[in-house]
Amino acid sequence: MPAPRALRPLAFSIPRLLSATALALGAAASAHAAWPDPSHPIRVVVGFPAGGGADALARAVAPALGAEIKGNVVIDNKPGAGGLIATDMVAKSAPDGYTLYVATPGSFTIWPNLRKLPYDPQKDFAPVSVLVTMPNVLVTSANAPFKDLPGMLRAARAAGGGFTYASGGNGTIGQIAAEQFKMLTGLQMQHVPYKGTTPALTDVMAGIVPITFSDPSAKPLIAAGKLRVLAVTTAKRSAQFPDVPTVAEAGVPGYEVTNWYGLVAPAGTPADVIAQLNKALVKVMAEPEIRQRLAQSGMDATSNTPQQFAKLLSSERSKWGDLIRKAGIQGD
């Protein structure tokens, strides 16, 4: 018996529907395969001023990344609030692979323990890769009266509550490095936050603030004799500063802080784009020229998988949360 007339159009529409669906999926796949569009620049956002460590990293990596993925990569500095302004902006950006962010410990592992944020560091971002690890360096003016860390400790204790330290902003790794130092030494140093590492270093060079736990962007100033390095914050001596003792070696047992920078994208960025970026960055960070250029800024080039980066972020949020609670650190 023939099918009722009313059902026949439905029977004939199924192949058409499947065909249309296949075409749509094919078009979507083609759109993903076309990333990046050479006419659409990829923006790497840096939450700090030009001249700092995160900025130096971005400017070293961007041209090589662009060449590897055959796209146009540009740097966009958005300083302020220890990187939080830029982090929030990227969290709210389109997840299309054309906005990336140089992540730092401050915005992703420290500030989540200090205040309610306008973004969720776990849910609003897709980790791509860690790019560098490095120590922070405890530096002072070249004209400071103390020559080493024991001398600095004596000066700080003599000054009582009048000894200050600079940082690149509230909630940055430089503040955490100093606060761990305070907790282990019993010093009562006062925090002077700046809008980035560069202005903090400028005032330390001038002797306005005695010390800072800077990122490695201080290395050229150390080499030029404008800053004196007293110690590195890592557990072992750094290949970038082989003659400089660790803070633990120089008189503060148990002290250790390791800094890093990585690249993240807004959550929802297509998995194939994240995979392409990660693959390209693994190659870029292994290039001898890139490694040498970053070493000049005190950074050790590296890379890892998005999953490994996510695990690091989770681990450090817990680690710095414990320190913040014990030290009684308050957010703004």
Q: Residue 330 — very low, low, confident or very high, per pLDDT cuts 50/70/90?
A: confident
One domain, residues 128 and 46: yes
Instruction: Return the pLDDT at 172.
Output: 84
Q: Residue 332 — very low, low, confident or very high, per pLDDT cuts 50/70/90?
A: low
Residue 272 lies in a domain: yes
One domain, residues 116 and 151: no
Angstrom distance (rounded) from CA 100 to CA 181: 33
Please report, for the domain that includes residue 77, its CATH number: 3.40.190.150
* Six token digits for residue 163: 């000894």
> pLDDT exceeding 70 applies to what percent of the chain?
90
One domain, residues 298 and 211: no
One domain, residues 48 and 187: no
Q: Which residue has the higher pLDDT, 23 or 59?
A: 59
Residue 11 lies in a domain: no
One domain, residues 205 and 266: no
Please report, for the domain that includes residue 194, its CATH number: 3.40.190.10
Contact criterion met (CB below 8 Å) for 108 and 313: yes
Taking alpha carbons only, the member of 170, 81, 127 closest to residue 275 is: 127
DSSP 7-55: GHHHHHHHHHHHHHHHHHHHHHHHHHHTPSPTTSPEEEEESS-TTSHHH
Instruction: Return the pLDDT at 278.
Output: 98
> pLDDT exceeding 90 applies to what percent of the chain?
73
Q: What is the mean pLDDT of the chain?
A: 89
Q: Residue 139 — very low, low, confident or very high, per pLDDT cuts 50/70/90?
A: very high
Expressed as residue numbers, the domain containing 60 is 42-134+258-327
5 has a pLDDT exceeding 80? no
Q: Residue 11 — very low, low, confident or very high, per pLDDT cuts 50/70/90?
A: very low
Instruction: Return the pLDDT at 90.
Output: 98
pLDDT tens by residue, 143-195 = 999 999 999 999 999 998 789 999 988 888 999 999 999 999 999 899 999 98
Angstrom distance (rounded) from CA 62 to CA 66: 6
One domain, residues 61 and 143: no
Contact criterion met (CB below 8 Å) for 135 and 213: no
Residue 319 lies in a domain: yes
One domain, residues 218 and 285: no
Instruction: Return the pLDDT at 80.
Output: 83
- Helix H segments across the chain? 8-33, 53-69, 84-91, 105, 149-159, 173-185, 197-205, 219-223, 271-285, 288-296, 306-327
pLDDT tens by residue, 261-317 = 999 999 999 999 999 999 999 999 999 999 999 988 888 999 999 999 999 999 999
What's the total number of domains in the chain? 2
Instruction: Return the pLDDT at 30.
Output: 39
131 has a pLDDT exceeding 70? yes
One domain, residues 170 and 310: no
Distances (CA, A) of 79 to 153, 190, 221, 309: 32, 23, 22, 24
